[in-house]
């Protein structure tokens, strides 16, 4: 009898452990993987977060969903999101090429980009091309393709905002084609004087989107779209943007 009782006890224990493992697995599966790049001040890193990361937290709150936000170099983040079923990707600009790979859900934030210099302003693609100045642009970004389409050959693709800030400060590049918000933020963060920056006229306007792997559940997609629209009306939205812009 004692042997039977012990055997039954072991079976119950194993059954309990199996149920616990299933519960933990189910809980983990409720967290949606969301990829982003190191794109300050929109997405900085796990500790400092960034505008878009904090906005995604509000989106999760509004949608009743939890996100597992993962950072990677921008080109790799896009590849990981493309290869991970049900994954999200933010902040991503729209292009026909990306439309074939991702489902665009809703716009998170609007931005404008310009040529940032330390001497004379560059207000158009034509001026940038004719100046012969070396322009830095983010590796794998839509902006790099815009420069190419505009006929520029005098540009360098550079992996990070930190590198481009330092290269502009030290004269290794003459201009930086980026979001005006990013240039000012990075110069402050690196201890450079943002007052030195000469920001040209906005030459492109962009929408930074929340997108998803093509396999995303339609119900989840709908919940996210509704949640983003709610976040746009949330007073905390502009409080977050202003905190990083200031």
| Residue 6 in this model has a pLDDT that exceeds 80 | no
Would you say the C-alpha torsion 73, 156, 169, 113 has a positive or negative sign?
negative
**Average pLDDT value for residue range 224-245:** 95
Residue 185 phi, psi dihedral angles, 5° rounding: -60, -45
**Separation of alpha carbons 127 and 130, rounded Å:** 5
| Residue 25 in this model has a pLDDT that exceeds 80 | no
| pLDDT tens-digit series, residues 178-218 | 998 899 999 999 999 999 999 999 998 889 999 999 999 99
**Separation of alpha carbons 243 and 185, rounded Å:** 11
* DSSP symbols for 18-62: HHHHHHHHHHHHTEEEEEE--BTTTB-BTTTB-HHHHHHHHHHHH
Burial of 193 (0-12, 13-18, 19+ CB in 10 A): exposed
- 180-189: string of b/e by CB count within 10 Å (b at 16+)? bbbbbbbbeb
Q: Which of the pair, 165 or 26, is modelled with greater confidence? A: 165
| pLDDT tens-digit series, residues 91-141 | 998 888 899 999 999 999 999 999 999 999 999 999 999 999 999 999 988
The pLDDT value recorded for residue 245 is 81
The pLDDT value recorded for residue 71 is 98
The pLDDT value recorded for residue 10 is 52
Q: Which of the pair, 11 or 96, is modelled with greater confidence? A: 96
> pTM of the prediction?
0.75
| Residue 8 in this model has a pLDDT that exceeds 90 | no
| pLDDT tens-digit series, residues 40-51 | 999 999 999 999
pLDDT above 90: percentage of residues in the chain: 80
Extract long-range pairs of 153-160: CB within 8 Å, 24+ residues apart.
Answer: 154/128, 154/129, 159/73, 160/38, 160/73
For residues 92 and 43, the answer to whether their CB atoms sit within 8 Å is no
For residues 144 and 155, the answer to whether their CB atoms sit within 8 Å is yes
The pLDDT value recorded for residue 140 is 82
| Residue 34 in this model has a pLDDT that exceeds 60 | yes
The pLDDT value recorded for residue 5 is 47
* DSSP symbols for 217-240: -HHHHHHHHHHHHHHHTSTHHHHH
For residues 174 and 116, the answer to whether their CB atoms sit within 8 Å is no
DSSP 171: T
Q: Which residues contact 223 (CB under 8 A, 6 or more apart)?
A: 63, 64, 65
Run of H or E residues at 180: helix 180-189
The pLDDT value recorded for residue 4 is 45
Within 54-203, strands assigned E span: 66-71, 88-92, 102-117, 135-138, 155-158, 175-179, 198-199
Q: How many other CB atoms are there within 10 angstroms of residue 192's CB atom?
A: 17
């Amino acid at each position: 009898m004692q042997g039977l009782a012990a055997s039954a006890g072991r079976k119950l224990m194993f059954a309990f452990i199996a149920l616990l493992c299933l519960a933990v697995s189910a809980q983990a599966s409720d967290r949606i993987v969301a990829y982003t790049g190191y794109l300050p001040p929109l997405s900085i890193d796990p500790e400092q977060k960034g505008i878009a990361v904090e906005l995604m937290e509000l989106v999760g709150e509004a949608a009743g969903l939890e996100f597992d936000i993962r950072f990677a170099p921008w080109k790799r983040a896009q590849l990981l999101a493309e290869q991970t079923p049900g994954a999200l990707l933010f902040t991503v600009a729209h292009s026909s090429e990306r439309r074939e790979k991702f489902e665009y859900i809703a716009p998170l934030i609007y931005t404008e980009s310009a040529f940032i210099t330390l001497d004379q302003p560059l207000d158009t693609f034509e001026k940038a091309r004719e100046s012969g100045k070396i322009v830095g642009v983010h590796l794998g970004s839509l902006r790099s393709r815009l420069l190419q389409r505009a006929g520029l050959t005098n540009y360098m693709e550079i992996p990070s905002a930190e590198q481009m800030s330092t290269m502009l400060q030290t004269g290794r590049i003459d201009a930086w084609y980026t979001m005006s918000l990013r240039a000012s933020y990075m110069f402050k963060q690196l201890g450079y004087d943002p007052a030195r920056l000469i920001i040209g006229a906005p030459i492109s306007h962009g929408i930074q989107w929340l997108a998803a792997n093509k396999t995303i559940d339609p119900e989840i997609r709908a919940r996210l779209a509704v949640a983003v629209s709610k976040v746009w009306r949330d007073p905390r939205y502009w409080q977050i943007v202003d905190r990083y812009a200031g």
